[in-house]
Structure 1
Amino acid sequence: MNQIAKDVSLALFDRLESEVRSYVRSFPVLFDRGVGTTLTAADGQEYLDFFGGAGALNYGHNNQAFKQALLDYIERDGIVHSLDLATTAKKGFIEAFERYILKPRGLTYKLQFTGPTGANAVEAALKLARQVTARSNIVSFTGSYHGVSAGSLAATANKDMRAAAGFPLAHVTSLPYEGYLGESFDTIAYLEKLLADPSSGFDTPAAVILEAVQGEGGINPASVEWLQRLRELTSRHGIVLILDDIQAGVGRTGKFFSFEPSGIVPDIVTLSKSLSAYGTPMALVLIKPDLDVWKPAAHTGTFRGNNLAFVTARAALETYWSDSKFEDEIARKSEILATELASIAADHPGLGLSVRGRGLMYGLVSPKDHSLPARVSKEAFARRLVLETAGSYSEVLKFMPALTIAEADLRRGLSIIRDCVRTVQDSTAASR
């Protein structure tokens, strides 16, 4: 037994790591290995992963389809750091992305490699939209999450995250997302009225930024009609439409891009998280060619050339996106997930649970008791299943299993959740 397996205490982290830690507080275990959808702790205990690195591990942990390609690249001393120099690894990724993603969808985007975080991709997208339009204001939506660096945080809705900035977050207007004010309130018509009325006090924005399926906001999928109307409105008013696909993209909602079912073509798309396919940092901004007005070095970053990520990202595209088989597999598992969650909700009518989502990105919503999802998550972790909560009040139990998860593991995890909901409900009833 090696030293790490002997010492499973988290005391070192409590003593020396910043109080900013969050996930470790919900999942206080010293993890050591990850394969597929199984996490192994230092003490040998195995956990089923329905968390998926908050969307960064769509293909699971240490996917064997990419692992050898990465090891071979390192073994032959392939370029690791390159800024924005041309490398064979980048060339291979660009060729694969064009062949398997852009061309089949009739897309002609230019590719901008930013610093390796999703927030950096969002920062670049917002800066570019402002350059293109010579306007400063941005529209984002209630429930949105776009990152926590200054510009991206201004477009993020969460109150606690915004408060941490320490200074006013300006030049972004938050408007109601679809359904925020109820089914009868037309949020697109509201935006249209603000733009049309010269006395609305609302300046025409440089861009509208949104997620087609909000993740941290509580698994809120926008309808096809709403997205189509928003695209038409922004096009008509000369507003850049930025689609943040950092969490909901790369197959998470069933298609490579979350906006595909709507048929719209955003002006700019931001990608990160699972783009690298291996959990290594990588971010990408897709730009319509006529909007690519950047001057050389106008948006830089020391680590905008993560060649290790290029290698695994290319392997993922070649392995999973060369035909429709992977999408078909996601659709089949999505039906299982949605059906089982609906069954759990139906089995507990007194809780008022509901289900929403797409693909393998679903939420079990508890509007009556906002504490229930956190209690279910805690109970699930005690049974060695890892999943988080989301939403304004953490009222959503968030399901993000790997897209490659075996059906048996998916059903096993859902069975655990069923038992946990029952246990939490019984515990609540007993305490009254």
Structure 2
Amino acid sequence: MPKDMTQETTIFTRRESEARSYCRGMDNMFVKAQGAEMFDQNGKRYIDFLAGCSSLNYGHNDPDMKSALVDHITNDGIAHGLDFHSDAKAAFLKAYEDHILTPRGMDYKIMMTGPTGTNAVEAAIKLARKVTGRRNVISFTNGFHGMTMGALSLTGNTDKRGGAGSGTLGDVTHMPFEGSLGENVDTLELIEAMLSNPSSGIDAPAAFIFEPIQGEGGLNAASDAWMQGVEKIARKHGALLIVDDIQAGCGRSGSFFSFEASGIKPDMITQAKSLSGFGLPFAALLIRPDHDIWKPAEHNGTFRGNTHAFVTARIAIEKFWSDKTFEKEIASKSVMLTTALQEVADLVPGASLKGRGMMQGVDVGSGDLAGAICARAYEHGLVIETSGANDEVIKFLAPLTISSELMREGFDILISATKEVVESHKIAAE
């Protein structure tokens, strides 16, 4: 690290909380980004296969979104509006209705929650309990739903749950996600048996919540049949169905919502991350109209709805979701992605592919190995991270707008890094 950079970054170790994480393994000072590329203060270029953990599905600094936001700001457009009516909010809601809901035959109210995904999850479980009069919520192994206390109670990861200290993480039953007990175990059958047994000790659920593709949990992708099965069980037992589409949504799976192919009809859908299109904080909860029983201000927040995000989100929707062109591009890149990831998997004995769409990765079986590969790739100019219960999955989350050429260049780096690390591990073992 150059001396001048070391001097500048000491402010982080001196003043920033120990909670910081990404910067520990990727400690360069980033100063500029465009599309799927990032640049540090020394001008070194990095290909971005992380995209703000799927918050930048349309890339860094999309020119159309940037232009609209600059115009809004320079014209003294509303910057903060609580939940007042505003022209920016109206335009966003109209675009969402016209290009997202109506074409899919979906009828939902849109609740502006606090600015992050965990706020949307908190609102969802709070409303489910209010609607049903029940407390218990069923979530799934390897699930991740946020870091505030209610959302954290739904999360499976031990380390993240440990952040709650001595706080209570109750009123939740964790059930096995599809495939989590092995290919030959029908987890739907197990869940139904537990709920139908009056002596199982499981309280009648207010809701089920799951991610169609578990982002932090290791890219475990639920099948259409499994999602349909969970919906059927929820209906049978009088529970609401909540789909957490925060990381897998906004095109990451191949369609705007990651559950579309399954045909299920959730009672609520959480959205955040790439909802703003530009990386701005913005989260929302879609609610079936008959469940929207909130009293005014019964669930609110100072930053419920980000007016600047309304501006960029509208552009994102109109630019990428007004027809099927973008979906077709994602489908084409997804095939290329699967092929490229298989090249990586072939270098690691026992490795396997995970996920679907543009949310795929390689399970290399070891967190140490996956971490070493990602670290070596970073040295060569590629930003990529791991996921899974033991960080054993190398996870691809590049912007959906990345060019095929740049994606190939990034994979050449990843393949080279994998070869280097696998070879070094062989030598160490000898």
What interval of TM-score do these two structures reach, taking the shorter chain for normalisation? over 0.9
For residue 256 of structure 1, what is the aligned residue in structure 2?
256
Q: Secondary structure at the match of 2:47?
A: strand
Q: 2:83 matched to which residue of 1?
A: 84
Structure 1 partner of 2:427: 430
- Cα deviation, 1:346-368, whole Å, max 9, x if unaligned, reads 2x2x521101111111111012x
1:174 aligned partner: 174
**What SS does the corresponding residue of 1:431 show, helix, strand or coil?**
helix
Separation of aligned partners in 1, 2:78 and 2:59: 25
> Which whole-Å CA distance do the structure 2 matches of 1:296 and 1:161 have between them?
33
Contact 1:6–1:43 (Cα < 8 Å) also in 2: no
Give the residue type in structure 1 aligned to 2:236. Answer: R
1:394 alignment partner in structure 2: 391
Aligned residues: 426
- CA separation in 2, counterparts of 1:147 and 1:313? 22
What residue in structure 1 maps to residue 321 of structure 2?
321
2:198, 2:381 → 1: CA distance? 57
Matches of 1:324 and 1:357, distance apart in 2: 22
One-letter amino acid of the structure 1 residue matched with residue 386 of structure 2: T
What TM-score does the superposition give when structure 2 sets the normalisation length? 0.97
Residues 51, 400 of structure 1: 8 Å contact kept? yes
Cα distance between partner residues in 1 of 2:427 and 2:205: 53
Counterpart-to-counterpart distance in 1, 2:343 and 2:29? 34
Letter in 2 for 1:392: A
Cα distance, 1:60 vs structure 2: 0.6
The offset of 1:298, in angstroms, is 0.7
CA distance, structure 1, for counterparts of residue 92 and residue 367 of structure 2: 43
CA positional deviation for 1:164: 1.2
Which position in structure 1 is the counterpart of 2:370? 373
| Residue pair 1:360, 1:403 contacting (<8 A) in 2 also | yes
CA distance in 1, matches of 2:397, 2:343: 18
Tell me the equivalent position of 1:28.
27
Give secondary structure in 2 for the equivalent of 1:14: helix
Equivalent residues of 2:209, 2:241 under 8 A apart: yes
SS at match of 1:10: helix
Q: What's the offset of the Cα at 1:184?
A: 0.9
Alpha-carbon separation, structure 1, partners of 2:315 and 2:345? 39
Contact 1:136 1:171 in 2 (8 A): yes
Shift in Å, 1:430: 1.2
CA deviations 1:137-171 (Å, max 9, x no partner) are: 11110001000001000001110111110122110
Secondary structure of 1:112's partner?
A: strand
The counterpart of 1:360, out of the listed 355, 358, 361, is 358
Does structure 2 retain, via aligned residues, the 8 Å contact 1:6–1:42? Answer: no
Q: CA deviation at 1:11?
A: 1.1
Between the aligned partners of 1:22 and 1:351, the Cα distance in structure 2 is 29
Aligned twin of 1:338: 338
**SS of equivalent residue, structure 1 residue 40:** strand
Structure 2 residue matching 1:198: 3-state secondary structure: coil
- CA distance in 2 between counterparts of 1:341 and 1:303 reads 40
**Does 1:409 pair with 2:419?**
no
- Report the equivalent of 1:98: 97
Matches within 5 A, 1:10-409: 10-166=9-165, 167-346=167-346, 348=347, 351-367=349-365, 369-409=366-406
Aligned-partner SS, 1:352: coil
Distance in 2 separating the partners of 1:6 and 1:129: 53
> SS of the residue aligned with 1:351?
coil
The unaligned stretches of length 5 or more in structure 1 are: none
Residues of 2 paired with 1:414 and 1:168: CA distance?
43
SS in 2 for 1:279: coil
CA distance in structure 2 between the partners assigned to 1:241 and 1:119 by the alignment = 17
Name the CA distance, whole Å, in 1 between partners of 2:197 and 2:427.
56
Letter in 1 for 2:234: T
| Residues 218 and 354 in structure 2, CA contact (< 8 A), matched pair in contact too | no
SS at match of 2:193: helix
Percent of paired sites with the same residue = 48
When the two structures are superposed, what TM-score results if normalisation uses the length of structure 1? 0.97
Cα pair 1:79 1:87 within 8 Å, conserved: yes
Provide Cα deviations, 1:55-104, integer angstroms capped at 9, x if missing partner. Answer: 11101110112110101111110101111111000000000000000000
Secondary structure (helix, strand or coil) at the match of 1:247 reads coil
Amino acid at match of 1:279: G
> What is the CA distance between 1:334 and its match in structure 2?
0.5
- Give distance in 2, aligned partners of 1:211 and 1:204: 21
Q: Separation in 2 of the partners of 1:34 and 1:340?
A: 24
Any idea what SS the aligned residue of 2:78 has?
coil
| Residues 138 and 206, structure 1, Cα contact 8 Å, conserved in 2 | yes
Q: Name the CA distance, whole Å, in 2 between partners of 1:115 and 1:198.
A: 38
In the TM superposition, residue 6 of structure 1 has moved relative to its aligned partner by: 5.6
| Paired residue secondary structure (1:143) | coil
What do residues 315-355 of structure 1 show as CA deviations (whole Å, max 9, x unaligned)?
00000000000000000001000011113222x2x521101
Instruction: Indicate if the aligned counterparts of 2:283 and 2:305 stay in contact, CA closer than 8 A.
Output: no
Cα distance in 1 between the residues matched to 2:263 and 2:414: 35
Question: Is the CA contact 1:58–1:403 (under 8 Å) kept in the aligned structure 2?
Answer: yes
